[in-house]
C-alpha cells in the first residue's frame, strides 16, 4: 500500500486513539509472518470481510492464512460507527426491478439478513462487543425524504420485516431530537463496539485454525503454474486461491480494484458520558440513527452513555479545527440541549464508495476474488459478503440460500486523474439524484 486508507494521522488531523481503541478488549495475540507458508486460501485484509471469509473457509475445512498490513480492525472495521444496518441503499422494489423476479426477491432476503449474520456470529463465538439489537432509525429532515423513508418502511414491512413508519412525535421521543419531520424504525438493526467485534472475529478465525498474521503487508501478488504467491517483507504465502478484502485501502496490489472505489473520509466524535438527565432524553431505547441529509449524520450511544456522532467529510474542510466545527454545528442542530459539546474522543476513517452505491463481489480469474465497496454499510454487509466471497472460493451455493451478483470489475475512469474530483462528482451526483452518502 502506498497510503493508509484509514488513518488517525496528519491527513485527518485527529487526536489519536478512537473511543473503540480505548474501550475494546485487547487484540488477539498475533505475530507478523516470518518465513514461507502455504494454504488452500490466502486472505488479504483482516476486517469484517476478510475475517468472515476466513471463518467460512475454515468451517468448510480449508487451510487459511490471513494477512493484514497492520492488525484486525486497523481499516474501516475498527473505526466504524458500529451501526448494524440491514439492506442496501436501494429499496426492495428497486432491487427487484433491477435484478428481476428470480434473483431480485432472493437478493432482498439476502441483504435483509446481514444483521442476523452479525448477531449470529457474536452469539456463536461469544464475542464480547457490547452488542445491542434495539433497532435502527432513519429520521427524515424534510417532507421529500419523509415520503421516501415511509415508502421504504412499507416495502420492507410488506416483505415481513419488523419495520414501521414513525410520526414526527415518535421520532422526537425515540431520538430526543425535534429536528426531524418523521422517519422509520427498523427492528432488525442494532449496534456493536466495532473494534471489539472485529477483534472477536479475529479470535474466532484463529480458534477454527486460520493462521492470522499482523503487521504483514502484502507487497506483491503473482500468479504462476503453482498458484498465487503473495510477497510480504519477511516471508511469502503460496495459495491456490486468494481473497482480496482490502476495501478502501486497496493500494497498488491490484490497481484496477483500487480504482473501482473512491475513499471518502468520515469523521467521528464521542462526547463524555452524558449525565443521567440527558441520557433519559437522548436515545433512551439505545437505537442507532442515520439521517437523510446528503452528507449524512449518524449517531448512537456507547455502553457508557457517550454520544458517538459521525459525519461525512466535506471537501476542502481539512483541518481538525474546521472538522470539529462541522460536528459541533451538526450536534447543536440535532441536540441543542447538549449545549457546547465536550468531546472525549475523535477519529476518522475512509468509506469505500462505489458509483452504483452497492458493494461489489468479484471473481477476478485464476482463483482471485474480492468483495469491497460497502458505501458506509459494512458492519452487516461486509460480514455477509465475507461469507459469500468464501462461497465463491468453495464453489458452492450458500447453505441459507443467500445470493449476491458477481459483477465484472469496473475501474472508475476519472480515478487516475483526480481522486478528489471523483469524490466531488459522486457527492454532487448523489445530491442531484436524491441519494445520500
Ligand X SMILES: Cc1cc2nc3c(=O)[nH]c(=O)nc-3n(C[C@H](O)[C@H](O)[C@H](O)COP(=O)(O)OP(=O)(O)OC[C@H]3O[C@@H](n4cnc5c(N)ncnc54)[C@H](O)[C@@H]3O)c2cc1C
Q: Which residues here bind ligand X, judged by CB under 6 A?
A: 1, 6, 44-50, 67-70, 74-77, 79-83, 85, 217-218, 245-249, 251, 253, 266, 268, 298, 310, 349-351, 372, 374, 376-380, 382
| E strand or H helix at 109 | helix 92-112
* Complex with ligand X: residue 105 or 227, whichever CB lies closer: 227
- The C-alpha angle 218, 395, 253, rounded to 5 degrees, equals 15
Q: Is residue 164 within 8 Å of 185, Cβ to Cβ?
A: yes
- Number of CB atoms found within 10 A of residue 316's CB: 8
Q: Residue written as cell 428497486?
A: 94
Q: Would you say 16 or 336 has its CB closer to ligand X? A: 16
Chain CA centroid to CA 156, Å: 22
Is 21 or 103 the residue whose CB approaches ligand X more closely?
Answer: 21
Instruction: Centre a 10 Å sphere on the Cβ of residue 291 and count the other Cβ atoms it contains.
Output: 25
Taking the least distance from each CB to ligand X, the nearer of 139 and 251 is: 251
Q: In angstroms, what is the minimal distance from the CB of 218 to ligand X?
A: 4
| Smallest distance from ligand X to CB 169, Å | 26
Contact 46, 71 (CB under 8 A): yes
Locus of grid cell 416495502? 155
Is residue 42 within 8 A of residue 221, CB to CB? The reply is no
Distance in Å, CB of 146 to ligand X, minimum: 22
**Nearest distance in Å: CB 147, ligand X:** 25
Pull the grid cell for residue 424. 466531488
The CB-of-371 to ligand X minimum distance in angstroms stands at 7
Rounding to the nearest 10 degrees, give the CA dihedral for residues 194, 247, 65, 239.
Answer: 160
CB of 66 to ligand X, least distance (A): 9
Calculate the CA 387 to chain-centre distance: 15
Q: Are 380 and 369 in contact (CB under 8 A)?
A: no
Q: From the CB of 281, what's the least distance to ligand X, in Å?
A: 22
Cell digits of residue 363: 471473481
Return the number of the residue (103 or 363) whose C-beta is nearest ligand X.
363
Residue 435 Cβ, how far from ligand X at the closest point, in Å?
A: 16
Block residue for cell numbers 482480496:
244
Q: Check: CB of residue 272 under 8 Å from CB of residue 306.
A: yes
Closest distance of CB 195 from ligand X, Å: 10
- 8 A C-beta contact, residue 372 and residue 409: no
252 or 339, CB closer to ligand X?
Answer: 252
Closest to ligand X by CB, 225 or 256: 256
- C-alpha–C-alpha distance, residues 389 and 202, integer Å: 17
Element (H, E) at 372: strand 368-372
CA gap 208, 228 in Å, rounded: 23
**DSSP-derived 3-state class of residue 318:** coil
CA dihedral 135, 141, 142, 145 (to 10 degrees): -50
Nearest residue to ligand X by CB is 378
Supply the minimum distance, in Å, between the C-beta of residue 254 and ligand X. Answer: 9
CB-nearer residue toward ligand X: 2 or 101: 2
Nearer to ligand X, 282 or 288 (CB): 288
Shortest distance in whole angstroms from residue 347 CB to ligand X: 7
Q: Which is nearer to ligand X, 184 or 374 (CB)?
A: 374
Strands 35-44 and 163-167: unpaired
What residues does 271 pair with on adjacent strands? Answer: 343
Distance between CA atoms of residues 131 and 66, nearest Å: 25
Amino acid at each position: 500500500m502506498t497510503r493508509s486508507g484509514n488513518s488517525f494521522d496528519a491527513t485527518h488531523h485527529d487526536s489519536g486513539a478512537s473511543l473503540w481503541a480505548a474501550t475494546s478488549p485487547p487484540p488477539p495475540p498475533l505475530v507478523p509472518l516470518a518465513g514461507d507458508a502455504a494454504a488452500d486460501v490466502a486472505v488479504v485484509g483482516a476486517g469484517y470481510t476478510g475475517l468472515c471469509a476466513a471463518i467460512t473457509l475454515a468451517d468448510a475445512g480449508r487451510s487459511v492464512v490471513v494477512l493484514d498490513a497492520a492488525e484486525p480492525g486497523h481499516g474501516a472495521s475498527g473505526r466504524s460507527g458500529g451501526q448494524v444496518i440491514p439492506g442496501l441503499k436501494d429499496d426492495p422494489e428497486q432491487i427487484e426491478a433491477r435484478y428481476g423476479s428470480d434473483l431480485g426477491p432472493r437478493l432482498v432476503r439476502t441483504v435483509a439478513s446481514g444483521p442476523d449474520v452479525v448477531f449470529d456470529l457474536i452469539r456463536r463465538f461469544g464475542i464480547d462487543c457490547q452488542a445491542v439489537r434495539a433497532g435502527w432509525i432513519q429520521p427524515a429532515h424534510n417532507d421529500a425524504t419523509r415520503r421516501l423513508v415511509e415508502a421504504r418502511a412499507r416495502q420492507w414491512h410488506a416483505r415481513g420485516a419488523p419495520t414501521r413508519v414513525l410520526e414526527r412525535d415518535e421520532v422526537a421521543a425515540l431520538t430526543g431530537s425535534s429536528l426531524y419531520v418523521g422517519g422509520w424504525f427498523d427492528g432488525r438493526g442494532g449496534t456493536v463496539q466495532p473494534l471489539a467485534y472485529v477483534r472477536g472475529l479475529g479470535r474466532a478465525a484463529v480458534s477454527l485454525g486460520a493462521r492470522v498474521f499482523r503487521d504483514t503487508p502484502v507487497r506483491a501478488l503473482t500468479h504462476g503454474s503453482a498458484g498465487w504467491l503473495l510477497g510480504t517483507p519477511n516471508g511469502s504465502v503460496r495459495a491456490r486461491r486468494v481473497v482480496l478484502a482490502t476495501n478502501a485501502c486497496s493500494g497498488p496490489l491490484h490497481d484496477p480494484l483500487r480504482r473501482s472505489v473512491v475513499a471518502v473520509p468520515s469523521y467521528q466524535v464521542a462526547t463524555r458520558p452524558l449525565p443521567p438527565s440527558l441520557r433519559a432524553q437522548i436515545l433512551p431505547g439505545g437505537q442507532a440513527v442515520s439521517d437523510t441529509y446528503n452528507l449524512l449524520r449518524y449517531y448512537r450511544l456507547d455502553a457508557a452513555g457517550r454520544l458517538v456522532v459521525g459525519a461525512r467529510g466535506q471537501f476542502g474542510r481539512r483541518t481538525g479545527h474546521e472538522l470539529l466545527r462541522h460536528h459541533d454545528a451538526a450536534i447543536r442542530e440535532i441536540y441543542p440541549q447538549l449545549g457546547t459539546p465536550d468531546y472525549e474522543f475523535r477519529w476518522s476513517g475512509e468509506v469505500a464508495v462505489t458509483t452504483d452505491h452497492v458493494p461489489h463481489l468479484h471473481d477476478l480469474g485464476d482463483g482471485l476474488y474480492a468483495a469491497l465497496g460497502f458505501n458506509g454499510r459494512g458492519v452487516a454487509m461486509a460480514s455477509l459478503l465475507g461469507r459469500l466471497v468464501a462461497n465463491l472460493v468453495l464453489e458452492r451455493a450458500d447453505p441459507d440460500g443467500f445470493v449476491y451478483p458477481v459483477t465484472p470489475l469496473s475501474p472508475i475512469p476519472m480515478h487516475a486523474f483526480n481522486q478528489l474530483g471523483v469524490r466531488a462528482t459522486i457527492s454532487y451526483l448523489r445530491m442531484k439524484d436524491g441519494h445520500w452518502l
